[in-house]
Amino acid sequence: MSTTLFFPAAIEIDSHPVTDQGRSPITVTRDERSVIVELANGDRKRYIKAVKHQFAMSWTWLPDKSIETIDGGIARQEIQNLVGTSGEVHTLRFYDRNAGWMEYLVFVNTYSEILLRRDAASGTHFWEVTIELEES
């Protein structure tokens, strides 16, 4: 049962809107890749080669299928098919409230899932899914 929410999905992976249902806050870590150079006069300078970001996101009580989410965003099966088994580079896009976005090319560092419950009445499985992505 998909409903229209005030805000569209905040996250897209490869142009697939990811559900906000049960999502924890996203952790963004700045990873500065630099080299310290010592000059002839004894001074030390830092040369920054690149600044990359790492993203950690998790969902609790995430249903199997997108039709079972409150917003129609992709759920556990689609997330697993998209990033859980591939070693490819993905496009991660974050939307803000003013319809702007930030886009990153990322690869998957870790993907884990825990089966929390199998609901016999509805046939739905509920999962805890954690993904860590790193900017390429």
- Of 1, 10, 14, 3, nearest to 81 by C-alpha is 14
78-136 pLDDT, tens digit each: 999 999 877 889 999 998 877 788 999 999 999 999 999 998 888 899 999 999 999 98
> Which pLDDT belongs to residue 84?
80
φ, ψ of residue 82 in degrees (nearest 5): -80, -50
104, two tokens: 């990153």
5-56 pLDDT, tens digit each: 455 568 899 999 999 899 999 999 998 888 999 989 989 999 899 999 999 9
Instruction: Give the confidence band of 62 by pLDDT, cuts at 50, 70, 90.
Output: very high
> Which pLDDT belongs to residue 70?
87
4, two tokens: 């229209």
Rounded mean pLDDT of the chain? 88
Q: List all residues 6 or more positions away from 27 whose beta carbon is below 8 Å from its beta carbon.
A: 55, 56, 57
> Which pLDDT belongs to residue 121?
87
Distance of alpha carbon 17 from alpha carbon 95, whole angstroms: 10
